[in-house]
Structure 1
Amino acid sequence: MKTIYHEAKTRGHADHGWLKSYHSFSFANYHNPERMHFGALRVLNDDVVAAGRGFGTHPHRNMEIISIPLQGDLKHMDDMGNSTVIKQGDIQVMSAGSGVSHSEFNKNNDQEVKFLQIWIFPNQSEVTPRYDQISIFDKEVANGLTQIVSPNTDDDGVWIHQDAWFYLGSFNMEKSGNYKLKNNHNGVYVFVLDGELEINGQLLQARDGYGIWETDSFSYHIKSKAKVLFMEVPMQF
């Protein structure tokens, strides 16, 4: 088993006034040659957008983009004709493929919007661009892991063009568990949203990241109450 620990305070940071963003991996003006990606996981941005502000129309290509709102309402528009709002409890996916342009804005003028922006390298290039979003409010597993992303169109959560599985864990009690990888060639990047958990004797706290690979499973221990994102991705792609 190999591991890597990324303490929250070691992330890259950008403050544009209207946007405050923390980067787990190199992004925009933050460049760290030792933190370019974790396998197929290219970007993990922890974004806070000011009231009424947002990202103007901009292009993407050949990337699977997943957004997970944590607070507030995010307005999405794209050149595929989609005009939607995503909020806490929703999972959004966009396969940029052969090219797509979109914009994202804080829908509200009286509160910030907080969300995770995640980019995954796809296993196919130049696919037809695609958009989808779901709500997981009525599907969340109490004190367990809820699958929110997979490579399968008929599986739980949204699907992407990559052999990757994401699980969102919500716990309100101390609990131990075991994560078994879907593919032994994959790795798992654990990102703590709230609370504390322990893996391999390493204590992880809010916004810490922890990568695990070259193993078929690992155990974790929730200390009391926590919300955690498990991202299993190919290490070679």
Structure 2
Amino acid sequence: MLTIRRANERGHADHGWLDTNHTFSFANYYDPAHMGFRNLRVINEDRVAPGRGFGKHPHRDMEIISYVIDGGLEHRDSMGNGSVIRPGEVQRMSAGTGVFHSEWNASKTAAVHFMQIWILPERGGIQPGYEQRAFPEQERRGRLRLVADPQGSEGAVTIHANARLYAGLLGEGETVEHRVPEGRHAWVQVVRGSVALEGERLAAGDGASTSDAGLLTLVGGEGQGAEVLVFDLA
């Protein structure tokens, strides 16, 4: 059985420089019915105005993944890392015992559109860490490409959590499948376009979860197809 979280049901805030949607409770948005799913704690879809961003602030004991949809996101942190994340790249920051970081729009003229994802680590107090990798379009086209997992398998970034994250690009009518093993759970998030998932149409910003073992079938929607993220969770 699927449980669907529609885009227009999410928490929303417009701060002028930041337009943000929260799939789960976050900051001033609190909904006890949507505190996360399994160890997936945050999916924020953010649009940041040119030259603006999140100033230096602290985190601890969280696996934070940034997935850029359009534009460039400039990252700096207290570990000495500095980079710009662009579409097709995945950034993982393990906050562990504590880290300060900032995220800014790298452009002075165009907005940056990205997803910020938080996953609860298997244990607290680990050494903070950072990783960024590119996953070219051809590696994600017509398939679900593993982009994050606990072992860094297949060139994925390594997260300190019992979770795997896949990214896929589907053309119109193109089909991919993901098997949910017994005792595992899945969350599907549509980044853009639309998909048919087990007979349900999901549009950009929609999410769906299941705790049923079996095969999930995703079909790219009419027109532009879809960009999707699939989480396999403990």
8 Å contact from structure 2 (residues 171, 220) kept in 1: no
Which residue of 203, 206, 226 maps to 2:204?
206
Structure 1 runs not aligned, ≥5 long:
none
Q: What percentage of aligned pairs have identical amino acids?
A: 40
Q: Pairwise mapping of residues 18-167 of structure 1 onto structure 2 (< 5 A)?
A: 18-137=17-136, 140-167=139-166
Which residue number corresponds to residue 221 of structure 2?
223
Distance 2:72 2:106 in 1: 6
1:139 is displaced (CA, Å) by 5.7
| TM-score (structure 2 length as normaliser) | 0.94
C-alpha change, 1:206 and 1:153, in structure 2 (3 Å) is closer
Distance 2:227 2:73 in 1: 21
1:164-190 residue CA offsets vs partner (Å, 9 max, x unmatched): 111111012312332113x42221111
Distance 1:139 1:95 in 2: 28
8 Å contact from structure 2 (residues 3, 210) kept in 1: yes
Which residue number corresponds to residue 187 of structure 2?
189
8 Å contact from structure 1 (residues 139, 146) kept in 2: no
Distance 2:227 2:87 in 1: 13
- Matching residue's letter, 1:200: E
- Matching residue's letter, 2:39: A
Distance 1:4 1:93 in 2: 27
1:199 is displaced (CA, Å) by 1.9
Query: Which of structure 1's runs of 4+ aligned residues deviate more than 3 A?
Result: none
- Matching residue's letter, 1:29: N
8 Å contact from structure 2 (residues 172, 219) kept in 1: no
8 Å contact from structure 1 (residues 150, 156) kept in 2: no
Structure 2 runs not aligned, ≥5 long:
none
8 Å contact from structure 1 (residues 142, 170) kept in 2: yes
| TM-score (structure 1 length as normaliser) | 0.93
Distance 1:10 1:203 in 2: 16
Alignment size in residue pairs: 232
8 Å contact from structure 2 (residues 144, 176) kept in 1: no
- Matching residue's letter, 1:193: V
1:223 is displaced (CA, Å) by 2.9
8 Å contact from structure 1 (residues 63, 96) kept in 2: yes
Distance 1:193 1:153 in 2: 23
Distance 1:229 1:94 in 2: 18
- Matching residue's letter, 1:4: T
Q: Secondary structure of the residue that 1:146 maps to in structure 2? A: strand
8 Å contact from structure 1 (residues 143, 173) kept in 2: no
Distance 2:107 2:201 in 1: 36
C-alpha change, 1:189 and 1:137, in structure 2 (3 Å) is same
- Matching residue's letter, 2:77: D
